[in-house]
C-alpha cells in the first residue's frame, strides 16, 4: 500500500477520534468523513507501519445513516466532524466509543447505558472561541474555525451550533476592526493585534460577554474604541473585555483580563441556581445538557441521607452548589484562584451556607486532612486523575465516588485502577454534551 493508491472499501466502525475504520489486507485504514456502512472509494494519504490514513474520493453506496449536513461549511470546518451522520446514530456510535475504551483500555466488563441526548442540537454551544488572522494582500480580517488538522482559518459567517447573535457580533468585529487600524494575528510571525474573539453566551437570558484576546500587554485607544462600538451596537452584550496574551502559544487566554465596557460576567442558571460566568471561568459549553448531568449526579447523591460530599477539581463549584441543598456539607476544592473567587460570589448570590471553598490542588489538599466524606465527586480535566489523586480519594471516601469525565480513554484507565484497588463500577452513563463531534461526557458511579 502506497500514498495515492486508490481502493474501494466498506467502513466497519468509527474510531475514538471520529474517523471511519476500514481494513485492506488486514491493515487498518482511518478514513475522514466516513460513516459505518458506507461503501466508498478512498485515496491513501499517509502510510504508517501499523495503519494508514485516507480520504474519500467517491461515495459508491452511502450508509443509511448518512445525511446532508445542516451547515454548508461542515466539510471544511474542523468543529463538527460527525454532522453528516444522523443524530440518533451519532449517539449509537458514541456509546460504542465508550464501550471500546472500557473493554480495550479498562478491561472492564460492564454495560454502558444509552447516551442521554443533548436537549438541543443546534445553537447549543454557549462558549465560542474564534481565532483571528488577516489575508496577506487585501488585509481582510478572517475569523472562524480551523480546518481539520491545521491552523488555517475558515472564515465563517454563519455557525448553526452557536446562537445567531454570536455570528452577528463576530461579523461586526471582523468588519469594524480595520476602521480602527486593528490587524489580525499572524501566527508564524507572531505579529498583528487581535488573536481571538471569545464569547460567553447565557442560555438563560441571552446576554453575551465578549472578550478580545490581544497580542499586547496594555490596552491601546483603538481597542477602547472597538470595545465601545461593540457595546453600544448590541443590546445583548453585557460587557466587553480585553485579555492580554502576547505569548507565542496555543493557549487562548492569557492570565490578565480587563473589562472596558459594562460588566465582566454574565449570569447563567443551572437547575434553580444562578451562576456568574467570567471571561476565563470554566463552565460547560452546553448548559442545557450540563443540567442533565447535574440532575443525574444530584439524584445519585440523594440516595444517601444528608451526606458529606467532596467536590474535587471543582471549577466554580457547580457540582457542590447544585447538590448543596441535599447534603450536610460540601467541600469544593479547586486550584484556580479566580474560579474560587467566582464561586464565593455564587454562594452569596444563592444564599448557600454549607459549601466550603478551598484554593488548592486536590491531591495536596487531601494529603493535608484526615476527614472522610460519604461521597466524592471527581471532575478532572481530559488527562484524568493521577494514581496518587485516586489513592487519596479512596482514602478519604466512605461510600462512593462519582467520576465525571469528558475523555473515555482516561476514564477507562482510571476505572481500571480503582477496580484493582477493590472498587466496583455500578454504572456508566454517557451524556452528549458536544453534538456532532466524537466527544462524549460520562458519569461513572463507583462503589467502595
Cβ–Cβ under 8 Å, residues 21 and 12 = yes
Report d(CA 365, CA 218) in Å as an integer.
36
DSSP string, 367-379: HT----EEEEEE-
Residue 130 falls in the annotated catalytic set: no
Report d(CA 243, CA 249) in Å as an integer.
14
Q: Which of 395, 431, 394, 440 is nearest to 414 (CA)?
A: 394
From 130, 406, 423, 435, active-site residue:
406
Residue with cell 488548592: 360
Give me 375's grid cell.
Answer: 461521597
Give me 363's grid cell.
Answer: 491531591
SS3 content of the chain, % helix, strand, coil (to 5): 25, 35, 40
Cβ–Cβ under 8 Å, residues 36 and 94 = no
Report d(CA 119, CA 117) in Å as an integer.
6
CA angle, 320 then 438 then 55, to 5°: 160
Give me 259's grid cell.
Answer: 473589562
Report d(CA 100, CA 372) in Å as an integer.
34
> Rounded to 5 degrees, what are φ and ψ at 325?
-75, -15
Report d(CA 201, CA 156) in Å as an integer.
18
- Return the active site residues: 406
Amino acid at each position: 500500500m502506497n500514498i495515492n493508491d486508490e481502493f474501494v472499501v466498506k467502513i466497519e466502525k468509527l474510531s475514538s477520534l471520529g474517523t471511519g475504520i476500514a481494513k485492506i489486507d488486514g491493515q487498518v485504514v482511518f478514513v475522514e468523513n466516513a460513516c459505518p456502512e458506507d461503501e466508498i472509494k478512498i485515496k491513501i494519504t499517509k502510510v504508517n507501519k501499523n495503519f494508514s490514513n485516507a480520504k474519500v474520493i467517491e461515495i459508491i453506496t452511502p450508509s443509511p445513516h448518512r445525511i446532508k449536513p445542516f451547515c454548508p461549511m461542515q466539510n471544511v470546518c474542523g468543529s463538527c466532524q460527525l454532522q453528516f451522520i444522523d443524530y440518533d446514530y451519532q449517539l449509537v456510535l458514541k456509546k460504542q466509543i465508550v464501550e471500546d475504551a472500557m473493554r480495550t483500555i479498562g478491561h472492564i466488563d460492564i454495560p454502558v447505558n444509552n447516551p442521554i441526548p443533548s436537549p438541543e442540537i443546534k445553537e447549543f454551544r454557549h462558549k465560542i472561541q474564534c481565532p483571528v488572522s488577516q489575508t496577506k494582500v487585501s488585509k481582510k480580517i478572517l475569523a472562524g474555525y480551523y480546518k481539520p488538522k491545521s491552523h488555517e482559518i475558515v472564515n465563517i459567517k454563519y455557525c448553526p451550533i452557536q446562537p445567531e447573535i454570536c455570528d452577528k457580533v463576530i461579523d461586526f468585529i471582523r468588519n469594524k476592526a480595520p476602521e480602527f487600524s486593528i490587524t489580525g494575528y499572524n501566527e508564524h510571525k507572531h505579529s498583528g493585534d487581535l488573536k481571538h474573539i471569545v464569547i460567553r453566551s447565557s442560555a438563560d437570558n441571552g446576554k453575551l460577554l465578549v472578550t478580545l484576546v490581544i497580542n499586547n500587554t496594555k490596552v491601546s485607544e483603538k481597542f477602547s474604541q472597538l470595545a465601545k462600538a461593540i457595546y453600544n451596537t448590541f443590546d445583548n452584550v453585557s460587557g466587553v473585555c480585553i485579555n492580554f496574551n502576547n505569548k507565542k502559544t496555543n493557549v487562548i487566554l492569557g492570565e490578565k483580563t480587563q473589562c472596558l465596557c459594562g460588566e465582566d460576567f454574565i449570569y447563567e442558571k443551572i437547575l434553580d441556581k444562578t451562576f456568574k460566568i467570567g471571561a476565563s471561568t470554566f463552565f460547560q459549553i452546553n448548559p442545557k445538557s450540563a443540567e442533565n448531568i447535574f440532575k443525574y449526579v444530584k439524584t445519585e447523591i440523594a440516595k444517601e441521607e444528608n451526606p458529606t460530599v467532596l467536590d474535587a477539581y471543582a471549577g466554580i463549584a457547580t457540582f457542590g452548589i447544585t447538590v448543596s441543598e441535599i447534603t450536610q456539607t460540601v467541600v469544593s476544592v479547586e486550584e484556580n484562584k479566580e474560579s474560587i473567587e467566582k464561586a464565593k460570589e455564587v454562594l452569596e448570590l444563592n444564599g448557600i451556607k454549607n459549601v466550603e471553598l478551598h484554593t488548592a490542588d486536590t491531591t495536596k489538599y487531601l494529603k493535608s486532612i484526615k476527614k472522610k466524606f460519604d461521597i466524592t465527586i471527581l471532575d478532572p480535566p481530559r488527562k484524568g486523575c493521577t494514581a496518587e489523586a485516586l489513592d487519596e480519594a479512596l482514602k478519604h471516601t466512605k461510600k462512593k465516588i462519582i467520576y465525571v469525565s469528558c475523555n473515555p480513554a482516561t476514564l477507562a484507565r482510571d476505572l481500571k485502577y480503582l477496580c484493582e484497588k477493590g472498587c466496583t463500577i455500578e454504572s456508566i452513563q454517557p451524556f452528549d454534551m458536544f453534538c456532532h463531534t466524537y466527544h462524549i461526557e460520562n458519569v461513572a458511579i463507583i462503589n467502595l
